[in-house]
Amino acid sequence: MNEKNRLTPNPKLKLWAPKVRPERIWQLYQNDARGTIDEVLVHDVGIALYQRCESLLLVTSGRVTCPTCGTIFQTSWLGGRPEAVNQCPSCQWTITNGQYHATWRHQDLRAGNAEVAFRSYVEAYPRARSSRERTLLIDQLIHAFHIDLKSRAPNRSAANNLIEGSHARVVAMLDRLADDARGAPDRSDATSTWLATTEAMWKRRSGSSEAPRSTRPAVRKSGLGSGDQSPR
């Protein structure tokens, strides 16, 4: 096999869980606002986020799940050469570091400074015993942030690693959900914290100490409808 072929990924190779569609998140919160619980939806969203977090943690540590036998093993990607071959210890499946990198490149699969939030969700979710507990864990996860290690200030919303769409569009959807939740007795503190933290994040990202909320990137009005209309 020549060098070019060894470094070309198989386009059909799907090793990582995809991001969750925003309309699933939107519907989950619309149900919560009405005081109704769709247990199937909560389960589906919760598991999808769980699998996405697992993928984030695997990529960040340079590991992979063998698509042939399911064994999780360490690659030599971290510090290794692109052409180095990694073989599953349980079967004959192999992947080079170059191919491994290509499977997750440009997919927001590096946990960064939100790793603690992703790991906490993976540890806590299997222990949740009710749809309400699962919903609260989902809420905590998608409202987490990448925190700058030096300044301890928010850099980026962790939801961008989890939900389809640009960073600005995902945050705009969560802003809209926070606005809709104003006044809810069990959500007021969390809503205030989210809005204050995103305000600080946009100020930091814009380089301004006085960036008003109105200057945040926004989605089209047609993309975030009122009532039960989900983002397109």
Instruction: Fill in the DSSP letter of residue 81.
Output: -
Tens-level pLDDT at each residue, the chain (232 residues):
444 434 444 545 689 999 999 999 999 989 988 888 999 999 999 999 999 999 999 999 999 999 999 999 999 998 899 999 999 999 989 999 999 999 999 999 999 999 999 999 999 999 999 999 999 999 999 998 887 766 677 778 899 999 999 999 998 998 888 776 655 555 545 566 666 767 777 666 666 554 444 444 444 433 433 344 445 4
Tell me the C-alpha distance between 232 and 223, whole Å. Answer: 5
Taking a C-beta distance cutoff of 8 angstroms, is the pair 60, 110 a contact? yes
In this structure, what token pair is assigned to residue 7?
A: 């470094």
The encoded tokens of residue 197 equal: 């933290």
The pTM assigned to this predicted structure is: 0.81
User: Please, is 33 exposed, middle or buried when counting C-beta atoms within 10 Å of its C-beta (0-12, 13-18, 19+)?
Assistant: middle
